[in-house]
Amino acid sequence: MTLQNCLVFLHIPSYPTVWLLCKLLLHFNEDYTCTNESFFEFSLEWYSQRQEMALPLWKNLLQTTKERILQQRRLSLYNGAHGYEEELIKKKLQQFAGGSINLSKEDNGIGILTLNNPKLMNAFTGTMMVELQERITELENWKDGKGLIVYGAGNTFCSGSDLNAVKEISNSQDGMDMCMFMQNTLTRLMRLPLISVALVQGKAFGGGAELTTACDFRLMTPGSEIRFVHKHMGLVPGWGGAARLVQIVGSGAALQLLSGTARVDPEKALRLGFSEQTLSSSDETRALEEARAWLSQYTEGPVSVIRAMKKVVTAGRELPLEDALRTEKDIFGTVWGGPANLEALVRRPKHK
Ligand SMILES: CC[C@H](C(=O)O)C(=O)SCCNC(=O)CCNC(=O)[C@H](O)C(C)(C)COP(=O)(O)OP(=O)(O)OC[C@H]1O[C@@H](n2cnc3c(N)ncnc32)[C@H](O)[C@@H]1OP(=O)(O)O
């Protein structure tokens, strides 16, 4: 990769500066090939050796760009080093059409993500997997988002992968590609700075059960059922559902649910701490309204504070203690003295 290519996809605003930087560095090193890190190490080394020339602006620019690249790396669980070629995988998945993933972003900051393939109990076709990733990218860029409800059309949640597609991708490479694609996608769902709820109506089976574990909370309607049926398919979870289930209910209960393919009804889910509440209605419309009301008790308040709250909890859940504390400090810095904080200091709310 030449230096130009290394820079081309940086997408940073001050492009002319970057090209000037590129000319400067190329002047010293024609056809320099680099990886992202080596480019930045080289550039910082080059600047540090010529301290008097290294303008603070450009060092900041490099540091910001490096942080941005590393942040993008963090967003993606898998990359080329794991043999993960996302564009090729998407092309393969798009051969299996049907259904859709719909997203409506409401003025109150609540998003509604609908799994829409009711003829097949909302089973995930290949195009639905790709659309799920596209909707999650939209949600990552929705700066006013505070909450998200994921539910299925036709009063049922999701019965996992579309078995018609699964048959066509049963070879090892395609299976691993789909596994990595869905793990990447559901990890990004889990890390959204929005408070997410899986509204489980009807059945959440296989990959559908795994999808519920990628949401912060689960609400279930009367008669609904979550079931990790993978063992019956000669499988283990592949969309990250096992790792997340252990975090939610503990390793003992997780092993029982997975190896016993237990039917988890609303009462069992409450006992396990897997569901927050059993809704009163199993009617699709009323259940969605109940889910909105439940979620609104947590999304009430300034969007910056709600998003920061989810970020500090994500840090606490995923990072080693000291890294979590440092991340919390950084996120605290984004709200301390901010509009909501200053307004509250004037208002002096009484927390009765
Ligand atoms: C890592 C994830 C993992 C993987 O990718 O390998 C998976 O998720 S594998 C899939 C795991 N899921 C299942 O095995 C569920 C299979 N479906 C059922 O057990 C039942 O359909 C059930 C219990 C969800 C609902 O039963 P019910 O009697 O209420 O309805 P039907 O069975 O008549 O279903 C209606 C209609 O939908 C079709 N259907 C249901 N699930 C799937 C699916 N996962 N893939 C494809 N098609 C599905 C079913 O065949 C019926 O269609 P019809 O044309 O009428 O036969």
**Is 278 among the domain residues?**
yes
- State pLDDT tens for residues 290-301: 999 999 999 999
For residue 159 and ligand 1, the question of a CB distance below 6 A is answered with yes
- Cα–Cα distance between 61 and 66 in angstroms, integer? 8
More confident of the two residues 251 and 33: 251
Tally of CA atoms within 13 A in the half-sphere of 124 that contains its CB: 25
- Closest of 215, 221, 213 to residue 257, by C-alpha: 213
pLDDT value for 12: 46
Looking at the structure of the chain, the number of domains it has is: 1
In this structure, the dihedral spanned by the alpha carbons of residues 319, 321, 325 and 327, taken in order and rounded to 10 degrees, is: -10
- Cα–Cα distance between 179 and 186 in angstroms, integer? 11
Report residue 182 as tokens. 């869905």
Q: How far is the CA of 222 from the centre of ligand 1 (A)?
A: 20
**Given a cut of 60, is residue 187 above it in pLDDT?**
yes
For residue 186 and ligand 1, the question of a CB distance below 6 A is answered with no
- Cα–Cα distance between 210 and 189 in angstroms, integer? 12
Instruction: Give the residue, by CA position, lying nearest to ligand 1 atom 5.
Output: 161
Q: How far is the CA of 123 from the centre of ligand 1 (A)?
A: 7
SS3 278: strand
**Given a cut of 80, is residue 20 above it in pLDDT?**
no
- CB-CB contact of 155 with 284 (8 Å): yes
pLDDT value for 212: 98
**Given a cut of 80, is residue 25 above it in pLDDT?**
no
Rounded to whole angstroms, what are the CA distances from 278 to 157, 198, 300, 310?
A: 15, 12, 22, 23
Q: What are the phi and psi torsion angles at 205 (to 5°)?
A: -115, 150
pLDDT value for 349: 84
Average pLDDT value for residue range 88-115? 97
Report residue 88 as tokens. 């090729």
Length of the chain: 352
- State pLDDT tens for residues 211-238: 999 999 999 999 999 999 999 999 999 9
Q: Indicate the average pLDDT of the chain.
A: 87
**Given a cut of 80, is residue 134 above it in pLDDT?**
yes
Average pLDDT value for residue range 258-271? 98
**Given a cut of 60, is residue 131 above it in pLDDT?**
yes
- Closest of 17, 30, 121, 118 to residue 61, by C-alpha: 17
Instruction: Give the residue, by CA position, lying nearest to ligand 1 atom 9.
Output: 161
- CB-CB contact of 211 with 158 (8 Å): yes
Q: For 31-40, 239-248, 325-334, which range has the lowest pLDDT when averaged over its residues?
A: 31-40
Q: Residue 181's domain is classified under what CATH number?
A: 3.90.226.10
pLDDT value for 66: 57
- State pLDDT tens for residues 141-183: 999 999 999 999 999 999 999 999 999 888 899 999 999 999 9
- Residue-wise DSSP of 178-215: HHHHHHHHHHHHHTSSSEEEEEE-SEEETHHHHHHHTS
Rounded to whole angstroms, what are the CA distances from 351 to 128, 344, 347, 348?
A: 45, 12, 12, 9
> Scanning the structure block, which residue is given the tokens 């400067």?
24
- State pLDDT tens for residues 48-61: 555 555 556 666 66
Going across the sheet that includes 110-116, the strands are 100-105, 110-116, 147-152, 195-200, 217-220, 277-278
**Given a cut of 80, is residue 68 above it in pLDDT?**
no
> Scanning the structure block, which residue is given the tokens 């940086």?
10
For residue 69 and ligand 1, the question of a CB distance below 6 A is answered with no
**Is 306 among the domain residues?**
no
- ipTM for the complex shown: 0.97
**Structural domain span for residue 229:** 83-287
pTM of the shown model: 0.83
To which H or E segment does residue 310 belong? Answer: helix 303-318
Report residue 175 as tokens. 């299976």
**Is 228 among the domain residues?**
yes
**Is 57 among the domain residues?**
no
**Given a cut of 70, is residue 71 above it in pLDDT?**
no
- Closest of 338, 329, 340 to residue 301, by C-alpha: 340
DSSP 4: H
> Scanning the structure block, which residue is given the tokens 């609104």?
296
> Scanning the structure block, which residue is given the tokens 């419309």?
285
Q: Model confidence at 318, in pLDDT bands (50, 70, 90)?
A: very high
For residue 239 and ligand 1, the question of a CB distance below 6 A is answered with yes
Q: Model confidence at 67, in pLDDT bands (50, 70, 90)?
A: low
**Is 115 among the domain residues?**
yes
Instruction: Give the residue, by CA position, lying nearest to ligand 1 atom 37.
Output: 120
For residue 44 and ligand 1, the question of a CB distance below 6 A is answered with no
DSSP 82: G
**Is 25 among the domain residues?**
no
Rounded to whole angstroms, what are the CA distances from 247 to 253, 254, 318?
A: 10, 9, 10
Cβ neighbour number for residue 106 with a 10 Å cutoff: 12
**Given a cut of 80, is residue 135 above it in pLDDT?**
yes
